[in-house]
Structure 1
Amino acid sequence: MASKNLIAKRSKRGRPKTISDEFIRYLFRLKVLFSFGYRQLEGILKCVISEYNLDVNPISYSQICRRVKKLKLNIKPKKTDEELSIAIDSTGLKIKGQGEWRRIKHIEKYRSGWIKVHLAVNDKTGEILVVEITTERKTDASQLLKMMKKLKPFNINQVYADGAYDQTKCREAICAAGAVPLIPPRKNARLKKGKNGELVDSYRNDDILYIWELGAAAWKQDLGYHRRNLSETAMMRLKHFFSERLSSISFKMQKQEVLMRIQILNELNAVKLKVAANQ
């Protein structure tokens, strides 16, 4: 692997790279998996070059960091024509070293203490299909609209989400994708009526009437709302397998770190499904 993929191919423009993007991605994967520092990655690179007697100069830890920042890390879910049920939710990841008191007192001087990770999860396989990474100030509902656009290539049947997404624009975006929004109305929810006082034909009105008549527990049981817990499971794996904290300082690098974590989780999930299918 090292001898074939470490040395970068010649490019026509700019200063030629000595180390390939593929190997930088491999080093970054090691950093995320084992919490290595960039100086340790520099040492690993030097060891590989020495072990294979490669005619290439190693790059410094600061160059590795800059190269990681420019990597294109995208979530590439498995393509399928099956009807999918999607669970959507968000969670927060802490940034190392940001005390809550200091952040509140000196809010203009220090970066945000959290970033939000918004996930769309296939409730059948547990695969993370889409991710949006934002600051803590962004609302969940605003990111659902972006995620639904990215989910257009998939054949979506249902979308599970919690009460934070109980907004007209969220429901319209889900319906526009040809899916049924399974979002519990708020406790003080009211029926939506037309100009002449007639009830509007909508999933939300149907949900409100159902809950008024039989209760929220019956609504959740009948519609299989418990499937939304798959998004909670994905978030738990994201935090427990790695950490609830991020080591990166800049927002760009924090996004790269989260994307690499999710890539690794999806790969491990694919292995788990393959093993389960062969048993």
Structure 2
Amino acid sequence: MPYKYPKGKGWDIPKQKYGVTNWAKYTDSLRNRGRIDVWISEKAIEGWYKKDRVYDGTGTPFLYSDLAIITCHEIRKVFKQPLRQTQGLIDSFFESQGLPIKCPDYTVLSKRLAELDIKVPRYRKTDKPDDDIAGIAIDSTGLKRFGRDEWHQEKYKISAKRSWRKLHVAVDDDHYIQAALITDRYEADEEVVDELLEQIDEPFDRFTADGAYDSHDVYDSVLNHSPNADVVIPPPKNAVFDENNHAIRNINFNEIKDHGRMHWQKTRQYGKRNYSELAIQRYKRILGNTMQSREISRQKNEGLIGAGILNKMTSLGMPDSFRRS
């Protein structure tokens, strides 16, 4: 992604090639992602059920805690299982360990997913104290809600008839997803920046996004959250200088006009935007490009749970790469 430029203007840039310096460590981390180690802490067992169940006349209070529901859906997402199979898988884990707890019924898992109050992805790097965020890159992609698969379309010559949701992510320089959001497919990218920034607790030094986020409101939202942030958003090629535009947008425009787009990308670290694209690629490869839930209320929490799973895998290890000359 970084440093694209049309060949018609004299730029012939070969595809960049990278090598990995920590293959042994990274290979071990990939193996660990696939391990099935059944270990449950005493704290998790104690918190599996609701401790204080108050009967106030409004119905039966919840039996299972939010921790139990989220944990079950994390396992469901990783193994790409339907709800009934998820219940059977988790119960088999508990029975093999002789634990005094059970998986919630599949109907409970479905209903409670919509009611979970998940604000941000779990296992973020800022869950640890004194961690600064150097930069944030955001992007979005489509996740298939439902529809026929490719073989069915080819065989019967029918249209896809797909329905999509949009996954928006904000990723830091350590590849942790700091914020995630599921919206309708027609939601404009720049309209959800505020909601993403609300999930990020710490200020950051750099905000990187593509031209779809070139909006006055986006500049204001970023600076309201992190007043000292460097906003790196490329203006369109047909942009013109206008005093009514945001000051930072005009600075970006003048730098590109005076030194060229390639120079601007290098000096302003626009290539860091690739981290958000990489996070989206990892989400689709590891967790799939489809939503398991049907209703938007459940899909929103499913997206946050998926982002938390990727953060946990990131904590197990990532490759240290270098550019080959």
Cα distance in structure 2, aligned partners of 1:144 and 1:84? 18
Letter in 1 for 2:51: K
Pair 1:127 & 2:173 matched: no
Contact 1:91–1:117 (CA under 8 A) maintained in structure 2: yes
Q: Secondary structure at the match of 1:84?
A: strand
TM-score by length of 1: 0.81
Cα distance in structure 2, aligned partners of 1:155 and 1:69? 30
Shift of the 31–222 alpha-carbon distance from structure 1 to 2, 3 Å rule, reads same
Matched with 2:197 is 148
Shift of the 188–96 alpha-carbon distance from structure 1 to 2, 3 Å rule, reads same
Letter in 1 for 2:125: K
Following TM superposition, by how much is the alpha carbon of 1:63 offset from its aligned partner in structure 2, in angstroms?
2.6
The worse-fitting range, judged by mean Cα deviation, of 13-22 and 264-273 is 13-22
Q: Secondary structure at the match of 1:68?
A: helix
Pair 1:251 & 2:293 matched: no
Gaps spanning 5+ residues in structure 2: where?
Answer: 1-39, 150-157, 321-325
Shift of the 209–37 alpha-carbon distance from structure 1 to 2, 3 Å rule, reads same
Following TM superposition, by how much is the alpha carbon of 1:15 offset from its aligned partner in structure 2, in angstroms?
2.0
Following TM superposition, by how much is the alpha carbon of 1:45 offset from its aligned partner in structure 2, in angstroms?
5.0
Matched with 1:166 is 214
Cα distance in structure 1, aligned partners of 2:175 and 2:94? 38
Q: Secondary structure at the match of 1:252?
A: helix
TM-score by length of 2: 0.70
Letter in 1 for 2:54: K
Equivalent positions of 1:87-98 (< 5 A) are 87-97=137-147
Pair 1:78 & 2:125 matched: yes
Shift of the 220–53 alpha-carbon distance from structure 1 to 2, 3 Å rule, reads closer
The worse-fitting range, judged by mean Cα deviation, of 1-10 and 63-72 is 1-10
Matched with 2:185 is 136
Letter in 2 for 1:146: E
Gaps spanning 5+ residues in structure 1: where?
Answer: 104-111, 195-199
Matched with 2:88 is 43
Once the two structures are superposed, residues 178-217 of structure 1 have per-residue CA deviations (whole angstroms, 9 ceiling, x without a partner) of: 11211101111111126xxxxx782222221222222211
Following TM superposition, by how much is the alpha carbon of 1:269 offset from its aligned partner in structure 2, in angstroms?
0.9
Contact 1:165–1:183 (CA under 8 A) maintained in structure 2: yes
Matched with 1:226 is 271
Following TM superposition, by how much is the alpha carbon of 1:42 offset from its aligned partner in structure 2, in angstroms?
3.0
Query: How many percent of aligned residue pairs carry the same amino acid?
Result: 27
Q: Secondary structure at the match of 1:246?
A: coil
Cα distance in structure 2, aligned partners of 1:127 and 1:121? 6
Pair 1:206 & 2:251 matched: yes
Contact 1:116–1:135 (CA under 8 A) maintained in structure 2: yes
Pair 1:68 & 2:116 matched: no
Contact 1:98–1:113 (CA under 8 A) maintained in structure 2: no
The worse-fitting range, judged by mean Cα deviation, of 39-48 and 247-256 is 39-48
Cα distance in structure 2, aligned partners of 1:149 and 1:53? 39
Following TM superposition, by how much is the alpha carbon of 1:157 offset from its aligned partner in structure 2, in angstroms?
1.2
Contact 1:81–1:155 (CA under 8 A) maintained in structure 2: no
Contact 2:178–2:199 (CA under 8 A) maintained in structure 1: no
Letter in 1 for 2:243: K
